[in-house]
C-alpha cells in the first residue's frame, strides 16, 4: 500500500508515522508513505498557496494550481482514489478503512484554512472524508488517522487474530481487558477470566461487549445480528 500525501507540512506526516507499528510496516515494505510539499509546486512569486475567497468572507482558501501540480508530480498511473479530508465529507468508519485497505495506492489531500478551491475537488478528488463532526486546524491530523487505521488492516502489518477480535469486527464495542497484577488498588480481575473455562469466558466477554455498546453507543446495536442468547441476556 502506498500513501501519497499532499500537504503543506510533510514533516507532520513523516515524523508521526515514524514510530511503532507504522515504522515497522515501512521497514518491512508493507506500506510506503510519501509526503509531497504543496508549497514546492506553487508558481506564485511569493510562494503563496492560498488567497482570498471570491464572494468575500472570512479566511483564506488554498489555491488550485499548487495542489494540482503536486498531484501530477506523484505520477499517478494505476487507477487510484484521491481522498480530500474535510468536515464536509462522508463520515469515516471501520468499514471505509477496510474498503480503502484493499487499494494499492491512495492519494490524500490535506487542506488548511477555510478549505481548498472547489475545482481541485471537481478535477481530481474521488472521495471526501470527514473523521468526525468537529473542525481540525489541518487535514494532516485526519490523514494520520486514515493512514494508521488503514495500514493496520494491510496484510502482515499486525496479527490477523487481533484484527478479528477487536472493536467493530462484530459490530460491537470491545469487552474490558485485564492483565497482571490480579489486584490493583483494591480492584480485582473478574474471576471468570481466571477460570480457564473458555466457553464461559467467551460468554462473559460477549455480554460485556453488549453492555458496553448499550451504554456508550446504543445506535450501533441496530447493525448487529443479535443471537438468541444475546436477546435473553439483554432482557434480564
Rounded to a whole number of angstroms, the minimum distance from the CB of residue 31 to ligand ADE is 21
Rounded to a whole number of angstroms, the minimum distance from the CB of residue 127 to ligand ADE is 11
Nearer to ligand ADE, 116 or 173 (CB): 116
Q: Pull the grid cell for residue 128.
A: 471526501
Nearer to ligand ADE, 10 or 139 (CB): 139
Strands, sheet with 2-7, edge to edge from the N-terminal-most edge strand: 32-37, 2-7, 105-110, 81-91, 127-130
Nearer to ligand ADE, 85 or 172 (CB): 85
Among 26, 130, 167, 208, binds ligand ADE (CB under 6 A): 130
Residue found under cell 480457564: 196
Residue found under cell 448499550: 214
Residues 79-118 that bind ligand ADE (CB under 6 A): 85-87
Number of H helices, E strands in the chain: 9, 9
Among 45, 77, 122, 135, binds ligand ADE (CB under 6 A): 135
- The answer to whether 85 and 110 have CB atoms below 8 angstroms apart is yes
- The answer to whether 227 and 220 have CB atoms below 8 angstroms apart is no
Residue 129 half-sphere exposure, CB side, CA atoms within 13 Å? 28
Among 33, 106, 108, 139, binds ligand ADE (CB under 6 A): 139
Question: Near ligand ADE by CB under 6 A, which window of 135-143, 152-160, 163-171, 221-229?
Answer: 135-143
Total chain residues near ligand ADE (CB under 6 A): 11
Rounded to a whole number of angstroms, the minimum distance from the CB of residue 18 to ligand ADE is 22
Cis check: omega of the bond before 33, within 30 degrees of 0: no
Measured between alpha carbons, how far is 236 from 221 in angstroms, rounded to an integer?
A: 17
Nearer to ligand ADE, 34 or 127 (CB): 127
Rounded to a whole number of angstroms, the minimum distance from the CB of residue 120 to ligand ADE is 14
Measured between alpha carbons, how far is 205 from 95 in angstroms, rounded to an integer?
A: 23
Residue found under cell 515514524: 18
The verdict on 33 binding ligand ADE (CB under 6 A) reads no
CA 56 to chain centre: 34
The verdict on 59 binding ligand ADE (CB under 6 A) reads no
Among 57, 59, 132, 176, binds ligand ADE (CB under 6 A): 132
**Which residue ranges make up the site for ligand ADE (CB under 6 A)?**
85-87, 130-132, 134-136, 139, 142
Amino acid at each position: 500500500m502506498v500513501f501519497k500525501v499532499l500537504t503543506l507540512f510533510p514533516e507532520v506526516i513523516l515524523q508521526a508515522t515514524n514510530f511503532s507499528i507504522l515504522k515497522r510496516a515501512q521497514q518491512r515494505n508493507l506500506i510506503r508513505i510519501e509526503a509531497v510539499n504543496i508549497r514546492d509546486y506553487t508558481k506564485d512569486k511569493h510562494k503563496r498557496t492560498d488567497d482570498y475567497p471570491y464572494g468575500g468572507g472570512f479566511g483564506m482558501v488554498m489555491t488550485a494550481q499548487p495542489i494540482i501540480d503536486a498531484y501530477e508530480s506523484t505520477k499517478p498511473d494505476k487507477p487510484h482514489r484521491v481522498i480530500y479530508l474535510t468536515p464536509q465529507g462522508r463520515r469515516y468508519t471501520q468499514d471505509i478503512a477496510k474498503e480503502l485497505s484493499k487499494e494499492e495506492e491512495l492519494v490524500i489531500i490535506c487542506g488548511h484554512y477555510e478549505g481548498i478551491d472547489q475545482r481541485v475537488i471537481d478535477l481530481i478528488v474521488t472521495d471526501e472524508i470527514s473523521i468526525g463532526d468537529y473542525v481540525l486546524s489541518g487535514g494532516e491530523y485526519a490523514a494520520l488517522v486514515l493512514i494508521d487505521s488503514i495500514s493496520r488492516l494491510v496484510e502482515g502489518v499486525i496479527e490477523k487474530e487481533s484484527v478479528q477480535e477487536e472493536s467493530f469486527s462484530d459490530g460491537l464495542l470491545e469487552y474490558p481487558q485485564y492483565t497482571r497484577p490480579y489486584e490493583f488498588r483494591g480492584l480485582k480481575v473478574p474471576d471468570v477470566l481466571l477460570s480457564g473455562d473458555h466457553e464461559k469466558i467467551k460468554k462473559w466477554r460477549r455480554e460485556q461487549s453488549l453492555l458496553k455498546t448499550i451504554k456508550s453507543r446504543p445506535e450501533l446495536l441496530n447493525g448487529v445480528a443479535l443471537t438468541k442468547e444475546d436477546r435473553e441476556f439483554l432482557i434480564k
